[in-house]
Structures are given as C-alpha cells and as structure tokens.
Structure 1
Amino acid sequence: MPLAPTPAAKPPLTVLICAPRGFCAGVVRAIDAVEKALTVYGPPVYVRHEIVHNKYVVESLKRKGAVFVDELDEVPDTTAPVIFSAHGVPKAVPNEAERRRLFGIDATCPLVTKVHREAEVHHKRGRHIVLIGHAGHPEVVGTMGQLPSGAISLVETIADVERLVPPPADNLAYVTQTTLSVDDTEAIVAALKRRFPAIASPHKEDICYATTNRQEAVKRVAPQVDAMIVVGSPNSSNSQRLKEVAERAGCHIARLVLRAEEIDWTVFSGIRSLGLTAGASAPEILVEEIIDAFAERFEVTVETVSTADESVFFPLPRALREEAAE
C-alpha cells in the first residue's frame, strides 16, 4: 500500500512586531465616548463623520447602535447624543448643534484641541497662521474652521512654502496636523524658517506622541525585514505615513491593509522576515488576524521590537464624565 504524501513543510518566517502600534489615547477616548453614550442613553447615538478612520471600528459601533452622518442636517431633531469625531470639527458645527438644541458631545482628541487653541492665540496676537497638513483631511478642515476665512494658509509641500505669499509676511506663526510624517514636516518647517526667519513656532511640537512613536518603531524595524505590513485604513493619515516611512527606511515591499483578506499573497510568497505595525486607529484584533493568516502559510516566529513605552490617558468628554459620576 503506497504511503500518503508527506505535507510540504511551511517555510520559516520571522515576524517583527512594532511597539508601540495601534490605538492611541485619543482614539481610545473617542471610541469609549461612543460606547459610553450608547450604554447611558441607548441607541441611536449619532456620530458626525467616522469617529476614527477605521472601517472595522465604525462597523462595530454601527452594530451597537451608532448612526454615522456626514453633516448635522442628516440628524433629526432629537434628544439623542450627537458626537463629534476625534479629528475635530470647525466651530460652525458645535454652533449649529447648539442652535438646534442638539446634545453635542465633543470627542476631539485633546492633542488636536491643543492645535486649535494655539491657532486661536496666534490669531488674537495678530499673526497670520500657516498650517502644515493635507488638504481635505477632517483634522485640517476642523483646524482651519476655528478661525475666520483667510486667517490660515495651508501648505502641504516645500513647493507650497516657496509659493506662499502670506499677509503679513513679517508676522507669522505655524501649526501642524498631528498625524504627519515627522521627517517631511521637519523639511517643510525648515523651508518656512528659511523664508520667514521670524515665524513663531509651537511651544511643543504639534505632531502627536503616538504618530512620532509609531514612525520611530517602523524606522527601527523596516531595514531589518523583507516586507512590511501596516494595518490600517486607506483614509487614515497616520497609517499612510507609516507605509511611507517603511519605504523610505529601506523596506522595498510595504503594504497598507485593513484585514487579512486584503493581502496579496503573491507579493509575500518568498519572504523570510516581515515587519508588522498598525496605525493609531487600528485595533489589535486586526494585527492578530494578520499574524494568524501568515501562520497558515509560514512557520512563524514572532518577536517584538519596542522603541517607547506609552502611558498616556485622556478622560472621557466632560458631558459623559458628569453622567458617569451621577
């Protein structure tokens, strides 16, 4: 009787997992705000825009009773909570909510709020503000919406800086989106300072700790591996930046994926080492899902590469803290 064929041994694969990765304190706060509101008030809880840029998180909250809308005019006259996303909103949004007597809850990340306050202070001091960021991103829309039209000029690149003709050129300040590439932003800031030596800087860097820490971990891991996967959504700025950082650090195969089902296995068929990280709005369960998918095809050894410890915590928005206290 012929022997059954021996199954082919799976090729070895070393997976270097970046730490820190995944949820930051601002994302945890925003998601907790929606879940707390659902617990206290019951569904529906309305959320303007995606609470964070992750489809898995948004769909999970929808199943619990969250209703996501693009604008407040989609919210009926209701006593249900209306939550503003972690990215921040223009002042016109809470003003409209107040006019309609909606129960607005602001889940803006405190580090984004810090940028808003900086911009307001500069404006009160008569400075024109240069915002470094990506046009159309909700955080940029929210920051520009803190001040009257024309008070802020947006730049995305060094070329934008060279073309900039601000009024007045001798009384400027700059602020930045919190989820940018650290290296790109340094180059743009340097260009601003060359053109406008007196430009006022933030007291503390606007790019948030989580963005910086995740990029540093990728810089450490990317040169050591054959390929890199960033777990995150295509519309997540900080996730896209992690992919770019991996490529610049010398990793020739870098992919941004939301779920294991999106992996193109032909790209990863011959690798011996893989770097793995997750954007600040990607839950750890999706990282585990990716590891499990590779374990089906490879003999996986997992190692963690840690570059920083994070212990930052932000309390819930005040309205929900007061409700919890009662």
Structure 2
Amino acid sequence: MRRVKAGEVDGFEPIVETYKKQIYIYCCRMLGCKQDAQDAVQDVFIKAFTKLHTYEAKVSFSSWLYKIAYHHCLNLLRKRQVRMRVSRLIRSTGHADSVEQWVALFLAATMMVGSANVYAASNASTSVPQAKVAVSTAKPEKTSVSFDDRIKELSNKLKAGQMVAYYVADQEYNRLDEIYFTSMGFVNTKYADYVAKAKALNAPTLTKPSDLPKSYSFQNAIIYLKSPERTSSLYEKLDKELRAKAASGEKFVYSDIMKSNEASAAILNFDKGKVKLQVVASYIVPEQPMGGTPVPQKKPNEKKETIVINGVECIYTTDSKGRDHLDWVDEEQQIRYSIWAESAKSDVLNYAKKMIAK
C-alpha cells in the first residue's frame, strides 16, 4: 500500500485482484443485477485509486473499500429508483409523448431523489384546500393489483397543486426502503399565468424573450412541485407514520392528500413546425455523499464544448442519439438552466443570448 501511495501504479493491480471478487459479490447483493455490479466494481476501484491518498491505516483497507462500494451502489439505486417511479407514473397519466421527454430533461438537469412529478393542465391559478397529514392504508380491490397500479390509482386522485406520500414495504420493489412522493403540478398555456403561479410557488424563474428565435411560438409552461426534504419535520413525521402503519402487515400505505406550496422546477415549451425547443430551470439538489471521487458516465454518442455567452460559461452537448442541449448555472450556484432542441444549435444559442443577462 505504501508503494502505491508513493506513486508505484503497478502495485495497485494486486490489490484489485485481492478484493475484486468480494466487491463484485457485495455490489450484486446491493444492486440485484450482475451487469450493473460489473460496471460498479470498475467504478469503485477507480474511485479507490483516485482517493488512495486519503486512506489512513487507522481502519482496515477492506472496510474503507466497502464504504466506497456502499455509497456508490446507494447512489446508483437512488438514480434507478427515481427513473422507474417517474417513468411508470408518466405512462399512467396519458401524457407520455410530452412528459417522457421531460423525464430525460429533468433527470439531466437535477437529481430528483425520492419523488415523482406529473402535471395538470391549467389556464388559471388553481386553489386546493390544505389537507391534514394523516395516514391511510391502501386497500386494493384485487390481490393481483401491482404496486405500480396502486401508485397509478393514487396519482389519479390528485388535483393540481397536490401531493401524497407513500411507502412500499417490499424489499425487492423498494430496495432503498424509503418513502416516496407523487404530485400534480401545473401547466399554463398563457405565459402571464405561468409567471403568477411561479411567483406564488417560488419556482425558478424563466424569462420568455420579447423576440423569440424566428418562427418559434410559445406552447405552454410547466411547473413541477417540490417534495419535502428529508431533513424536514414533515418528512420525518410522514416517514414515521407510514412505517408504523406498514408494521401492521400492509405492504402499501399512503398519506392523506396534501397541498404543496413550493416548486422544484419549471419548463417552457416552444414549437417551430416539427422542431421543439424546451427551456428548463431547476433548483440544484446536492447529491448524497458517495465516498471517493465521482466518475463521469461514459457517453460515446455525446460531444461537449464550452461556449461563453455574455460572460457566462455554458456547456453545449451534441447528442447523436438524442437531442442537443446547452447547460449553465446561475451566479449563486442555486439554479441549473438547460435549453434542449434537436439539430437546432443556432436557435438554442440565440435563445440563450437573449436569456442570459449581460
């Protein structure tokens, strides 16, 4: 170990050979997928190597390595869980075409841990009475009803501005053993209505330039609701009550419907014939500590370039298998902005120039 820390890279190979089988078995147990485990093992050892200078002999090397593997797998599970919940709920809403696109946008813009969001169309503000936080038990009509079906039924009960918490007491389905939220946001077909609703919900602001790129027209604005943070008293209360209810034997429990007073993200949709341009703003959510150094995901179909617009550094990503996008963060590092369009780089850059203040 001392030789490796001193710079003898070849000395790390015997370490990999010694622990790779143990780490692979551990990752398999956490992830439940051999292919994911194989990829995870590689990432774990890369992280271990890049952070080897921080290792101290006060703890065993195996314990230190397992800690890195644990946090890495936990992060992968969170990402997987979010994608599954959001995509399933989206398919249940009947808005698959437009919202499926949003899933890719939102997951790229911010890591939404422990929540899923759908939306309700609206031309004006919707007022929803505040509901008390109390726990009910799901009682499906048939024992064959899946957890996905129950979540779909639950989300279908929501009106704009409402959310509900649920818990699935099933280790295979809910590997992270966490409570989750599903909510119904807002869609405004008038920009002025969106501005008013965004202000009321403290949503990240998106400005529609007075002169849009040529031939584009505004379609709608979507506001996504914010789920309670894990450190909040509301989250802790719900977590405790849902688990207590599940302890009686029910596999699926949920809270009463609640009103949400905050938003987590917003999106403006523009069309130019078949070309769709989407502008996304989302509050930056810190990722959970993983241990080691994050390893960028390899995407051979993507090519990135840095572009400075009005003094702001932006990253333009060309995706041969999807839509291109331009990304940047605000000066306070609190909001991430993205503009997405397929094969319309000049339009994306023109919009960004109008949007980013000099």
TM-score normalised over the length of structure 1: 0.23
Q: Return the structure number with greater relative CO, CA threshold 8 A, min gap 6.
A: 1
TM-score normalised over the length of structure 2: 0.21
